[in-house]
Amino acid sequence: MLLEVRGLEVHYGGIRAVKGVDLEVHAGELVCLIGANGAGKTSALRAICGLHARGGSVRYAGEPLEGRPVFELPRRGLVMVPEGRGVFPQLTVEENLAMGAFARTDADVGADIALRYQAFPRLRERRHQTAGTLSGGEQQMLAIARALMSRPKLLLLDEPSMGLAPLMVAKIFDIVREVAAQGVTILLVEQNARLALELADRGYVMESGAITLSGEAKALLADRKVREAYLGEGAG
């Protein structure tokens, strides 16, 4: 098991945002975590990375992540693309990509940047532009490409479709599918339940801080409760 989360808790002051979440991701899987706005998906993801204080336990590649600083994660193959993309707005596209490889010490970084440009020609065109001048979709591409620069085993994606036009959303999901096909394990947090479930192997449904449903993505897509609550299909 690549990622094993047991009894995850997140508190903001007196408010419990995540209430004992269990979640697992196996190597090679694409797992999605869906739920409404404010269900605690992002809090859970950030707590897994150690960006929030958390209760419960998180094991990655068989070892507990407790007490480990955030900056060690990419060295161990775990990278998160945060909500809102988190590109460095005043660094150029190329500098952003180079930052993605910060944890690496090998000499192939240049070759890897060339590979990213092959996959994302748009980024090559804009390589010397600062990232803040890119469109939202381009920034999302850059954020994913930058995360791939660390050669991750496990990629955590937080709402990659947020704020994007439908055409761009489809494009970003194509990219996620390709990345998964290359053998990267992915945990995808999404509000767009239909797209996420169509793409994923397995899914978890989160509701006010707790997991209420989980299972094969196909089964969830067919589930009546999921269809009513998240796929916009009325009862009957």
Partner 1 sequence: MDIFLQQVVNGLTLGSVYAIVALGYTMVYGIIQLINFAHGEVVMIGAMVAFSVITVLAGTAMPPLLVVLTGVACAVPVCMLVGYGMERLAYRPLRRAPRLAPLITAIGVSIILQHLALLVWSRNVMAFPQIIRAETYTVGGAAITNVQVAIVLLCVAIMGGLAFLVYRTRLGTAMRATAQNPQVAGLMGVDVNRVIAATFVIGAGLAAVAGVMVGTYYGIAQYTMGSILGLKAFAAAVLGGIGNIPGAMLGGVLLGVVEALGAGYIGDVTDMCRYSWLAGLVEERCRADGHFILFGSNYQDVFAFVVLILVLVLRPSGLLGERVGDRA
Q: Interface with partner 1 by CB under 8 A: which residues?
A: 49, 51, 69-75, 79-80, 82, 84-91, 95, 98-100, 102-103, 131-132, 139, 146, 150
Q: Round the CA-based radius of gyration of the chain to a whole number and report it.
A: 18
Min CB(213)–partner 1 separation in Å: 29
DSSP 3-state assignment of 75?
helix
CA distance 94 to 90: 11
Nearer to partner 1, 118 or 135 (CB): 135
Residues 6+ apart with CB under 8 A from 8: 18, 20, 21, 22, 23, 44, 47, 48, 54, 55, 56, 58
Give the chain's length: 236
Min CB(142)–partner 1 separation in Å: 10
Nearer to partner 1, 41 or 46 (CB): 46
Min CB(112)–partner 1 separation in Å: 14
Nearer to partner 1, 80 or 226 (CB): 80
Nearer to partner 1, 83 or 201 (CB): 83
Min CB(132)–partner 1 separation in Å: 5
CA dist list (Å): 87 to 31, 128, 188: 24, 14, 18
Nearer to partner 1, 26 or 75 (CB): 75
Min CB(54)–partner 1 separation in Å: 16
Taking alpha carbons only, the member of 182, 183, 137, 186 closest to residue 160 is: 137
Q: Look at phi and psi of residue 147 and say left if phi exceeds 0, alpha if psi is from -120 to 50, else beta.
A: alpha
